[in-house]
Structure 1
């Protein structure tokens, strides 16, 4: 594996390549139907992040049938079905297993022309970074599990997590995008690191321009998902943080997302129009959040210039 792309691509002819991905995880919210919708949106997103079109899906469900009514499993599957129908994807099967905790996911197969597959390894110096959804879902969902917020406080977060990246991917297909990924478990900083290292560039993120869900900043320092801490353990070597940065904002940059938005490197003369069209198309929080810089050559190992990602206030 040369890069950390969102899905595997296998060429089957000169004009067709299969794109395949699989993911599964514990519910982020309490409502079973929303859980299914969110998981489906999250799993499908990897295909759209590659510039591909999803065709088929298979369900993967782990479920404690002796503890939770089977109707709950039915609602999870129905919610996932809602999103498959919306995306025009056919469910062709699946597998269930008895276990102590609910876990749900999908394997997705799609297609793309081999020359049109988007990778995270081709970001160009000078491009601007566009993010299509706000951050903070991990923090808010963890706070829900701790009883610090109620379902009403998560209404916008749930709406964002249920929204398909199909719409943003379709709009961005009309622009000069050099690299793209979706922002999920590794957080914005982690996925930016993947692009930067694979492309041999540095990504500068303007923290004040990054959209954040209401309430996430206030909760950020105290109620982080476990994945966020692990993100920092890995990212600290590769991420430079400017002095004076608010700790809560840094935490949001590292926040492990569920069904997050697309992060795209776009030609600078097109990024503004791309954001305008994304907002008109329903991704109302889309924003330019940074830029792609050439990787500097420096002997100063302690300098931020040696970092893959630099976060500035």
Structure 2
């Protein structure tokens, strides 16, 4: 499998973790954030850190609100161009997850400049530029540092009409849950590091992690879409739990309905599971009710960190056909109904 730079350098050898698996564990992050805040917030700040939403949103006027987010990480693959594409897709996803449209980006670049050839660093940046071009936006600036580990990502800015903003805290009892992309990126990346991922598996991972979550823009126009987020480093359970907490509702998942990328189940059974999966479970497992039939491997799949993962939609049942049709019209054939929201103490139940 050709997943190396032309120079033969393995980017992943420079990093202790890759992609969204680099995130600080959810429990640790919550403890850190407890000591922040305390300052008066402007009325125009429509979304801050209060519900761990995907981006900050600041209202500019009656017609426009500014979405601001940033995301960066260490290499999840060895191919520098693919690394840049994945990181850019992941960063822009937060804009789409708020129901917005990206308008521009700034590059965040940290590289071991004495160890990586200039042409390799240039390929990373060109990969990011290619995704931004696909999204129709420029990379208008950024910041670079000399770093021990390669780091790349974006500050992403977007716009949304204030009335069409989709938070992760507005789900309603009776809503249906739709997942836009199959799960398993963390498993495939673990297999890649162990040199057991074949060409087909690598192609599936790249196709998923470089597919922009563009349906978010049109989902914002559907009144039946109540809440929206994307599934990234904390896994499906973690991000669904944030939605449940913010909405004050219980989420119910159907394990058999959850879609997975090709080879993921088999690779997970062989032990291709990231350390971040277990850290995720330790961070929020006390708020998850697993049926006795759920195996340890299935649990690991539910906490598997996703890089540039899919949108997670909470919508009224009568809006479901429109939501699925929108996903499919934009090339997300794997979008699937995976559960529902109901009244009850905030938690996730998996059956």
Same fold (TM over 0.5): yes
Aligned to 2:347: 308
Choose from 195, 199, 217 the match for 1:170.
217
Say which SS state the counterpart of residue 73 (structure 1) adopts: helix
1:14-38 deviation per Cα after TM superposition (whole angstroms, max 9, x unaligned): 2221110011101111111111111
The Cα of 1:307 is off from its aligned counterpart by 5.7
Moved more, 188-197 or 85-94: 85-94
Deviation track 1:92-112 (CA, whole Å, cap 9, x = no partner) reads: 101111122111111011111
The alignment's TM-score, normalised by the length of structure 1, stands at 0.92
Asked whether the equivalents of residues 237 and 307 of structure 1 are also in contact (C-alpha less than 8 Å), the reply is no
- Aligned length, in residue pairs: 301
Q: What 5-or-longer segments of structure 1 have no aligned partner? A: 296-305
Residue 186 in structure 1 maps to residue 234 in structure 2: yes
For residues 259 and 104 of structure 1, the distance between their equivalents in structure 2, rounded to whole angstroms, comes to 14
Q: Distance in 1 between matches of 2:333 and 2:296?
A: 26
Distance 2:110 2:272 in 1: 26
State the secondary structure of the residue aligned to 1:29. coil
Query: Structure 1 residues 110-119 or 185-194, which shifts more?
Result: 110-119
Q: Which residue of 1 aligns with 2:149?
A: 101
Shift of 1:7: 0.2
- Show the counterpart of 1:298: none
Q: Which whole-Å deviations, capped at 9, do the CAs of 1:156-215 have from their partners, x for residues lacking one?
A: 11101100001x213423431100000000110000000000000001011111110112
Structure 1 distance, partners of 2:90, 2:298, is 24
Which of residues 240, 257, 281 is equivalent to 2:306?
Answer: 257
Q: Which residue of 2 aligns with 1:61?
A: 109
- Partner Cα separation in structure 1 for residue 206 and residue 79 of structure 2: 10
RMSD: 1.4
Q: Give 3-state SS (helix, strand or coil) of 2:283's partner.
A: helix
Deviation at 1:152, TM superposition (A): 3.8
Q: Provide the rounded CA distance (Å) in 2 between the counterparts of 1:86 and 1:214.
A: 26
User: TM-score by structure 2 length?
Assistant: 0.83
CA distance in 2, matches of 1:292, 1:207: 15
Partners of 1:33 and 1:99 in 2: CA distance: 19
* 2:276 is equivalent to residue 237 of structure 1: no
Tell me if 1:86 matches 2:134. Answer: yes
For residues 343 and 220 of structure 2, what CA distance do their matches in structure 1 show?
25
Runs of 4+ aligned residues of structure 1 deviating over 4 Å after TM superposition are none
Give ranges in structure 2 of 5+ residues lacking alignment. 1-48
User: Is 2:189 aligned against 1:141?
Assistant: yes
